[in-house]
A and B are shown apart, each in its own frame.
Chain A
């Protein structure tokens, strides 16, 4: 088992998140995290899905996802070729002075302090965030909230361009609906 990150472009239509969630649940795939948000194209949303599975199962998951009519394109975000980040808020029972030195090394800041409690905001990889949390544990973690990962591939090419080429959308018009497929 290994962790994989998939970037999935979906049509911005109602129910699309439910379709993806339903697919994962009925096929028994476990999601570690899922983040959905807008893209440069207002008609398209992007999901970033982090999941744990055997290598060969990844093709199967992608193929099943791609069967959803609202899924436009899918690409694996490999660790070496992409940037992947999560956002963390953590409320600890400590004073600013006690924790300030611990949060160096990653982009993190203390964004609130009152009544002997601090909120730390950090943007980092899953692994670095886990390390930070570990360091803070000794103060007592009162509340923790963490986003799913989002990821982007290095280089000039975009995911929309990439998937358009891979799926033939950019080149062929043979998939246009024709009268043949009507009854």
Chain B
């Protein structure tokens, strides 16, 4: 029959139908049939150097564009290399579609060469996954995969396809509308719960907006701005929500949590109402749960019903997409405020006092060496709020969340839930592919960088000119900080000796990038500007910084937010605060 095509051709056509414009991957035996039609497809395929890079790149792409990112790998080791980025995307609710080749169906279960049960392995770290052995099922699985990844609470979906299904002949029919009996995300919030939420807001004299990454996923930042201004309450944005509300806005108290501002942490602790939008009461935000916001009632709005009551009881749950939810709350609150508008003056006086007494800050090192916070702050100031900033995991990540000022959603990317070292370089690559005209800075650690820097080769060869700032403190700094504070300074295996080995600038040059070194404060601005001016190659700047700098404030793991420290052995002076 003339309209018969191979399963592989069917796969590529389905990806085209799904609107895919780019995918990141590496071929191998089991997926090889798919790479033949990829050769002719209009979809751009970017050949990465490690499948983990493909997965994080798909994540970075998705986080800046809001569209599912796509990665593709072969069976066995190719597929298992995707596990970390899939788990990462799962924790941070990022839409990713992963395509993997599988050994031919008759060989499945025989421990065939390069066989791994990737559907079984990824079951707990994907939103859903498929194993396809019949070529006729390929278009439907791809269509469903994109629908599931992008809708509801977004997440990664893996489609594992047996090699013989890619090789066999089939006919192509792409279902644009597929009915999934067991998957029906609730979009519109229940009007009763909107009313109840508005009523609680109108009774509260100490409300706080506790904003999570869901607001960004729902593209609801503008709606939030409106609601926040109508309510007039303080706003805190979690690590995943930086940029959901402008840092320059007078109602913004900053980030709560383990390394949050004193004002943001205390606002949650002392509130009588948490207006929780797209956040999930993560332990890094709540501290010791039993002592978290003990006097607060909770409005919890989320698209995922399983988040309601998971960690904290919700007095008013609101299930639905945050866009319609927040838009419904605005008139509901306005109506309540006509009857009764609480006076927040005292509450604001308390919060303003905290924010002026305990602003974020840092001490310059006394020996004249570079302060990591200063470097990061200047990158933000000189590059501006339209750029995208992508962090690794560690001290530099926390400083990048604290000292870069975010004004817009989707300008701050990081691995919040899984805390994946090695995320930054490939995620920045994916972000730059998604937004080729936007400057993208990876703020990376010397430790993290050494996990996935090989993707700079991919960037150099594929005209993906990202910029990477290595905040080189010659150590696994965040772990070292814990050793300083909790293990009597016994620095077991946290010294990376990375001042000269590797020579990061030379390494960058070897990978086809521009490599720069910055060792003194006087050179910081000049070098950042130099990096910002380069648009035809990736740039790596090795910022050699003071190694003993620490991230403050800090709520030690497992302790109460009430025990927040602003420096070593230094708590805020609560007695001088009117709380």
Q: Are chains A and B native binding partners rather than an unrelated pairing?
A: yes
Interface residues of A in 26-69 (CB under 8 A from B): 26, 56, 59-60, 63-64, 66-69
Which residue of the partner chain, among B124, B181, B186, B308, contacts A22 with CB atoms under 8 Å?
Answer: B124
Q: Could you tell me if A68 and B151 are in contact, using CB atoms closer than 8 angstroms?
A: no
A101 at the interface (CB under 8 A from B): no
* Bound CA span A22–B124, Å: 7
A94 at the interface (CB under 8 A from B): no
Binary flags per residue of B206-240, CB closer than 8 Å to A gives 1, else 0: 00000000000000000000000000000000000
Q: Which of A11-19, A78-86, A104-112 contacts B (4 or more CB under 8 A)?
A: A11-19
**Is B67 in contact with chain A by the CB < 8 A criterion?**
yes
**Residue from the set A67, A169, A179, A183 with the largest chain B CB neighbour count within 10 Å:** A183
Interface residues of B in 43-75 (CB under 8 A from A): 67-68, 70
Question: How far is A89 from B361 in the complex, measured between Cα atoms in Å?
Answer: 71
Interface residue count for A (Cβ, 8 Å)?
A: 34
Residues of chain B lying within 8 A (CB to CB) of residue A69: 127-128, 148, 180, 182-183
- A7 interfacial by beta-carbon distance below 8 Å: no
Partner of B306, one of A14, A66, A70: A66
Is the CB of B365 closer than 8 A to any CB of chain A?
no
Q: A56-B309, A66-B306, A176-B179 are in contact. Are A18 and B123 (CB under 8 A)?
A: yes
B182 pairs with A174, CB closer than 8 A: no
- B187 at the A interface (CB under 8 A): yes
Q: Which one of A14, A22, A177 contacts B143 once the chains associate, using CB atoms below 8 Å?
A: A177
The residue of chain B having its C-beta at the shortest distance from the C-beta of A22 within the complex is B123
- Contact call A175/B185, Cβ cutoff below 8 A: yes
- Are B187 and A59 in contact, with the CB atoms below 8 A? no
Contact A64 B306 (CB under 8 A): yes
Check if A77 is an interface residue, CB within 8 A of chain B.
no
Q: Using CB atoms, name the residue of chain A closest to B65.
A: A183
Q: How far is the CB of B316 from chain A (nearest CB, A)?
A: 15
Residue of B nearest to A70 (CB): B182
Please, how many angstroms separate the alpha-carbon atoms of A18 and B128 in the complex? 12
Would you call A88 an interface residue if the criterion is a C-beta within 8 Å of the partner chain's C-beta atoms?
no
Q: Scoring B residues 121 to 158 as 1 if CB is less than 8 Å from chain A, else 0, what string do you get? A: 00110011001000000000001101110110000000
User: B residues within 8 A CB of A176?
Assistant: 177, 179
Count residues of chain B with CB under 8 A from any CB of chain A. 43
Known A177-B178, A182-B146; contact A66-B305, beta-carbon cutoff 8 A: yes
- The CA of A92 and the CA of B231, in the complex, are separated in Å by 72
Verify if B283 is at the interface (C-beta below 8 Å from A): no
Q: Which residue of A lies closest to B157 (CB)?
A: A69
Q: In the assembly, what is the distance between CA of A11 and CA of B123, in Å? A: 16
> Across the interface, do B18 and A15 meet the contact criterion of CB distance under 8 Å?
no
CA gap between A176 and B144 in the complex, in Å = 11
A22 to B122, CA, bound (A): 11
Please measure, in the bound complex, the distance between the C-alpha atom of A71 and the C-alpha atom of B19, giving whole angstroms: 28
Answer whether residue A178 sits at the interface, using C-beta atoms and an 8 A cutoff: yes
Interface residue? B77 (CB, 8 A): no
Task: Tell me, rounded to whole Å, the shortest Cβ–Cβ distance linking B529 to chain A.
Answer: 36
Known: A10-B182, A176-B179, A183-B68. A18 touches B308 (CB 8 A): no
Beyond A60-B310, A64-B306, A69-B182, whether A179 also contacts B150 by CB under 8 A is: no
Kindly report which residue of chain A lies nearest to residue B308, judged by CB atoms.
A63
- With contacts A63-B306, A63-B308, A183-B20 taken as known, whether A11 is within 8 angstroms of B146 at the C-beta atoms is no
Is B315 in the interface zone, CB < 8 Å from A? Answer: no
In the bound complex, residues from chain B placing their C-beta under 8 Å from that of A174 are 187-188
Chain A residues engaging chain B, CB cutoff 8 angstroms:
10-11, 14-15, 18-19, 22-23, 26, 56, 59-60, 63-64, 66-73, 167-169, 174-179, 181-183
Can you list 26 residue pairs at the A/B interface with Cβ under 8 Å? A14-B131, A18-B123, A19-B123, A22-B124, A59-B309, A60-B310, A63-B305, A63-B308, A66-B305, A69-B127, A69-B182, A72-B182, A169-B184, A174-B187, A174-B188, A177-B143, A177-B144, A177-B178, A178-B176, A178-B177, A179-B176, A182-B150, A182-B176, A183-B18, A183-B19, A183-B67
Residues of B that sit less than 8 Å from A by CB? 17-21, 67-68, 70, 119-120, 123-124, 127-128, 131, 143-144, 146-148, 150-151, 175-188, 304-306, 308-310, 313
